[in-house]
Amino acid sequence: MASMEAPPQAAAQDRDYKLMKEAVCEAYRAVDRGDGGPFGAVIVRDDAVLVSCHNLVRKNTDPSAHAEVTAIRQACRRLGKVDLSDCEIFASCEPCPMCIALIRASKIKKVVYGAKAEAAVAAGFDASIPEAFVEYYRKSGIEIRQVQGEAARIADKVFEKPWEIPGEAMQRRRTGGGWFEKAKGMVIRCLWN
């Protein structure tokens, strides 16, 4: 009798999709609540979600309160330790150098991200990753990979339209080689809840 279990690759893609969907919902939640930019992160331990967080830069008036940082802080408090080597992090967008440094310091073993940093940059966010850091990522000892298929599509979709953040929204305009931010935009709610 043949087993009805999904092939390992399909099961991994289903897991990636489920966890990325939660990170993406956090990204939408960040903007919907006016807490920060559209970035979300989920920390997983033993295949269970330990914490699910979003960007709190504006809410906390803290430029370091990226989704990944917020998630790591909450996970450390919840577990009562700073060693998260038995955890993975799923981020809606490729982590910036600051977040990768904290991921490394907390010893998280694996990073799975949705959208490439270039998608956030194209949407007007300062999320570029200097070329020097790309080599650092490779040598960090952390498994870092982008999701594939539908999980990547829903993460990219976050950056397809400008965002309205209460009191200051952004709209891109190409001006003389740089991006210009201007108040105007729209709020998109997570449709997957």
Residue 92 pLDDT greater than 70, yes or no: yes
Of 1 and 182, which is predicted with more confidence? 1
Residue 174 pLDDT greater than 90, yes or no: no
Task: Using DSSP, state whether 109 is helix, strand or coil.
Answer: coil
DSSP annotation of 162 reads -
Of 190 and 122, which is predicted with more confidence? 122
Domain ranges (residues) in the chain: 11-158
Binned at pLDDT 50, 70 and 90, residue 165 comes out as: very low
Of 46 and 123, which is predicted with more confidence? 46
Residue 18 pLDDT greater than 80, yes or no: yes
Residue 88 pLDDT greater than 50, yes or no: yes
Active-site positions?
Answer: 68
CA distance 66 to 69: 5
What is the predicted pLDDT for the residue at 5?
59
* CA neighbours closer than 13 Å in the CB half-sphere of residue 67: 33
Q: 11-158 sits in which CATH class?
A: alpha beta
Residue 107 pLDDT greater than 80, yes or no: yes
**Averaged pLDDT of the chain:** 81
CA–CA distance from 104 to each of 82, 97, 115 (Å)?
A: 11, 10, 20
Please report where in the chains the tokens 């008036």 appear, as a residue: 61
